[in-house]
Homo-oligomer: A and B are copies of this chain.
Amino acid sequence: MTNGFAAEREVIVLDNAGVGSSGGETPSTVAAMTKDCVEFCRALDLRNFDVVGFSLGGMIAQQLAFEYPDMIRRMILLGTGPRGGEGMTFTELSLDELGDPLALLKNSFFTASKGSKAAGQAYLERLKLRVTDRDAPVSMKTAGAQLEAIREWGSIPSTDRYAMLPRIRQRTLIVHGSKDIVVMPINAFLLAQHLPDAQLVMYPDASHGAQSQHAEVFLQHARLFLDG
């Protein structure tokens, strides 16, 4: 997927603080992660760009567009949900699942159908293609901070539940799997209802890895969106 984007435009893949090859400590709120991301962008003198955010990354993308609107041209939100979305405190999720990351990927990114399983296998093979400069695995400490950040983002405010979204004016493409078991699909619909300029695409028989399962058509949809 990343290579598909990179075939046509410059792609910068960010390991945020404490993640993968980046040093530092991972903060435990989306707002603080967004600040780290902005510092990174400023260090590279990136002033106006398109942002693609997946899951927690999509939360950071929303916060970025909200707090730093001048930096963002267009936004692609993959498998993510609004602040205070539906079922986004992930009470059933535990760090123990990280003990078997391959099983976690297979079970949460793909469905039980034959077609989705085959797409999952192809995805896992693609993940092995890079042999140099591979990211270090996420540490338990970082994963804990990320889970805390997601839960804070997902907690439902007592008033003005989706008040942030009408204030995000950037043209947005929302992409989701219709059977996402991590971030419930209704969250993509809620984003599309409340963001003023968002197009929604939802793929069939796909879970949290929808954009990887449907990578080819997703890249075509993303191209139409970014170039349109």
Q: CA–CA, A193 to B217, complex, Å?
A: 19
Copies of this chain: 2
- Stretch binding the partner chain, chosen from A55-63, A141-149, A200-208: A200-208
- Whether A156 is near chain B, meaning CB under 8 Å from some CB there, is no
Which residues from chain B contact A203 at a C-beta distance below 8 Å?
199
Q: CA–CA, A204 to B204, complex, Å?
A: 21
A113 to chain B, nearest CB (A): 9
Which of B199, B204, B228 is within 8 Å of A199, CB to CB? B204
From 181 to 228 in chain A, residues with beta carbon under 8 angstroms from any chain B beta carbon are: 185-186, 189, 192-193, 195-205, 217, 220-221, 224, 228
Determine if A202 and B199 form an interchain contact, defined as CB atoms under 8 angstroms apart. yes
- Whether A108 is near chain B, meaning CB under 8 Å from some CB there, is no
A→B interface (CB under 8 Å): 178, 185-186, 189, 192-193, 195-205, 217, 220-221, 224, 228
